[in-house]
Chains A and B, each alone.
Chain A
Amino acid sequence: MSMGPNYTPDGGPWRCGRCGCALEQGKVQAEYLQSAFDVFLPRCPQCGLTMIPRSLAEGKMLEVERLLEDK
């Protein structure tokens, strides 16, 4: 899918722990159990390290994992 939810950092300025660059919103693809999901997340423009905000990890990501795991 070309669309994707947009998740900004939960709060405060965030920098890449490896490069020190300020994170920028960018499109990434999350994969889990042979399914792919587009999402816009804060990521390092230099090394690509991506931050998964807590709200996503404990929200949609958790629901989707449970669905795909058939639990």
Chain B
Amino acid sequence: MSLPWAHPLFRAVSGGEWHPGGTAATERLWRACRAALTDGAGHGTDDARDAARPLRVLDAGCGEGAAALRLAAEGQRVVALDRTSQPDWRHSSFPAAGASRPLFCAADIRRIPLRDGWADVVLCQCVASLLSRPENFFAEAARVLRPGGVLGFSDLVRRDEAQGRPAVCDTASPLSLSGGCAAGAHRREAWERLLRTAGFRLLSFTDESRELARLTAQLVWYGDGESLRQIGLDGAAGCRSVCRKGSRPGYGVWVAVNTRQTI
């Protein structure tokens, strides 16, 4: 059994960004975060000196780092964390002259190695559901964001009545809600409760379940029997159960602002 995102099939289908929607979804989330800062939803952003400098961005759970590299290429100052280092962190192309390079670091996003109030934006895409205590990540995100900083967050959303529980990624069916990575999914209200508890004010929610369905469909289409079994999309506990709507998670995207007044 492989973790879905570690499997060559998943990587070939997802195109370098290991979450539903890929690059386009990251672009949408980034634009929404930028808009939230510009609109002043992230208060304290109207200082001219602040507006001129590159934004400080934390990509929490960056995977191979494709999104971090793109943001750095557009001039942002990016720190990218993942719990395991990736070969691509070393081999990725160097930035164009004048552009910065992301600082990649292997770290637990529940213990972020950054000072309080460092970040303008924190991005976290489809990672929190893998954590045993996601509330610790939200607390850390609030700590490293400056007052008025913006969190762009996306993750799996339960659509049944059951409560989420800590993810266990080595079970028989990683993408099903009964076990595996999707076991860490929460209902929308539960995710939002975690965000509010950490001190975030919600600005928007977008249901992007279609992107998750599209990714799963691509995996089913291009995967052979063995690959699908390895990532938990085939066999007795596999696709037939994952393909039922009630047992399949949705996918949500939130933008939230850090309401803390001081660092």
Interface residues of A (CB under 8 A from B): 1, 3-5, 35, 37, 39, 60, 63-64, 66-68, 70-71
Shortest distance in angstroms between B236's beta carbon and chain A's nearest beta carbon?
Answer: 15
B222 touches A66 (CB 8 A): no
Of A4, A39, A68, A71, the residue contacting B217 (CB under 8 A) is A68
A70 to B245, CA, bound (A): 6
B218 touches A63 (CB 8 A): no
Shortest distance in angstroms between B8's beta carbon and chain A's nearest beta carbon?
Answer: 11
Q: List 30 A-B contacts (CB under 8 A).
A: A1-B13, A1-B218, A1-B222, A3-B12, A3-B222, A4-B222, A5-B221, A5-B224, A35-B214, A35-B217, A35-B218, A37-B217, A37-B218, A37-B221, A39-B221, A63-B217, A63-B220, A63-B239, A63-B243, A64-B217, A64-B220, A64-B221, A66-B243, A67-B216, A68-B213, A68-B217, A70-B209, A70-B213, A70-B245, A71-B245
| Chain A neighbourhood of B216, CB < 8 A | 67
B83 at the interface (CB under 8 A from A): no
B133 at the interface (CB under 8 A from A): no
A1 touches B12 (CB 8 A): yes
B-side interface size class: 10 to 19
A4 to B217, CA, bound (A): 13
A60 to B228, CA, bound (A): 12
| Chain A neighbourhood of B12, CB < 8 A | 1, 3
B210 at the interface (CB under 8 A from A): yes
A5 to B220, CA, bound (A): 11
Shortest distance in angstroms between A31's beta carbon and chain B's nearest beta carbon?
Answer: 12
- The winner among B210, B213, B218 for most chain A CB atoms within 10 A is B213
A68 to B224, CA, bound (A): 19
A5 to B218, CA, bound (A): 11
| Chain A neighbourhood of B13, CB < 8 A | 1
| Chain B neighbourhood of A1, CB < 8 A | 12-13, 218, 222
Question: A60 with B220: in contact, given A70-B209, A70-B245 (CB under 8 Å)?
Answer: yes
